[in-house]
Structure 1
Amino acid sequence: MQDTTLLQLITDDIAPAQHLLELLQAESIALHGRDMLEMERILAQKQALVIVLDQHGRRRSQLLASLGLPTNRNGLEEVARHSSVGAELLKAGDELTALMNDCKAANEENGTLIQLQQIKTNNQLSILNGGDTPTLYDSRGSTSGKARPRPLSQV
């Protein structure tokens, strides 16, 4: 009985994990295009999926722990060894793990892209605000001074 419940919990998470991966890929496109409206829509959907996946993951872990098994691949293998649906259980577990690893990689790529965009934005703001940029020239042809804030109209 526990094995079929565990299998159902895993298979129920495959579709949301696939949808999360698709959202992360769409997020990458929105980040490249700096489409903030699309980003807001994606973020709302991502948050809902992450909550569902987290809750289901906790239920799977609790189920394995209640059987006195580790809450990882080893515990899943132990359940599969004594189950008539063992092969399906391991296959579904591997599929879910692969999807979650793909989601993690896509999320890390998006995080890196966000950090790069923040650096670029900070550099642009520094230039606009007259930060430490001795190679820039003001409207009179002289180099801009350090730490001398200028109105944006004089940039």
Structure 2
Amino acid sequence: MSNAAQSVKTLIQGMVDDRNRYGQLKSLLKDQRQLLIARNAQELEALNASIFTVYEQLLENSRQRYQLLTQLGIPAGAHGLRTLFTRLPAANQSQLNTLWDSLEQVAAECKTLNDSNGMVLAMQQDVLQNLFNVGEPENWLYRQV
């Protein structure tokens, strides 16, 4: 197997791994929301460590994908991947486009979940901040926003 073929194989395997990791991340982010709502700090801390581990793995795969595309002389990013797919046998193109589409979709779902969890956390902080200012009405009126 040529070096380029091995690079493409590694790149595709990384995409499959990332799709699975994003699925895992999606589940963890749903669990995180429940723990945020329940204000379960102890379990949340452990869960956040798991989320961070998945983020690190996704980041490492992204770096590897960037490096492999660069080595192949293809611009890094979604457009470069689509260009690479067009250079592969026709039988594989559809499968790879589907794989990339599903990877983009689950990543977008994770982003939405993460943003939603951030809003829950921001609302909780806002409530706590208001509670801290209850005894000092002048601070409530002139608090920094």
> Please, which of 13, 27, 32 is the counterpart of residue 18 of structure 2?
13
- Asked if residue 68 in structure 1 is aligned to residue 73 in structure 2, the reply is yes
Please, which moves more after superposition, 24-33 or 79-88?
A: 79-88
In 2, distance between residues paired with 1:86 and 1:21?
27
Runs (4+) of structure 1 moved beyond 6 Å?
none
Provide the residue aligned with 2:39 in structure 1.
34
Is residue 105 from structure 1 mapped to residue 112 from structure 2 by the alignment?
yes
Offset of residue 86 of structure 1 = 2.2
In the other structure, the counterpart of 2:57 is 52
Query: Cα deviations across residues 40-88 of structure 1 (Å, max 9, x unaligned)?
Result: 1210100100000100011011111222222122111111111122222
In structure 1, how many angstroms separate the alpha carbons of the residues matched to 2:76 and 2:45? Answer: 34
Per the normalisation by structure 2, the TM-score is 0.85
Alignment-mate amino acid for residue 29 of structure 1:
Q
In structure 2, give the amino acid aligned to 1:76: L
Alignment correspondent of 1:137: none
Q: CA deviation at 1:131?
A: 0.9
Corresponding residue for residue 153 of structure 1: none
**Relative contact order (C-alpha < 8 Å, sep 6+): which is higher?**
2
- More helix, by proportion: 2
TM-score of the superposed pair, with normalisation by structure 1: 0.80
Alignment of 1:127-138 (within 5 A): 127=134, 130-132=135-137
Give the Å deviation of 1:21: 0.7
Q: Which runs of 5+ in 2 are unaligned?
A: none
The corresponding residue for 1:116 is 123
In the comparison of the two structures, how many residue pairs are matched?
Answer: 133
Structure number, greater radius of gyration: 1
Cα distance in 2 for residues equivalent to 1:15 and 1:81:
24
Tell me the secondary structure at the aligned position of residue 24 of structure 1: helix
For 2:112, what is the secondary structure of its paired residue? helix
Structure 1 residue ranges without an equivalent (≥5) = 134-145, 147-155
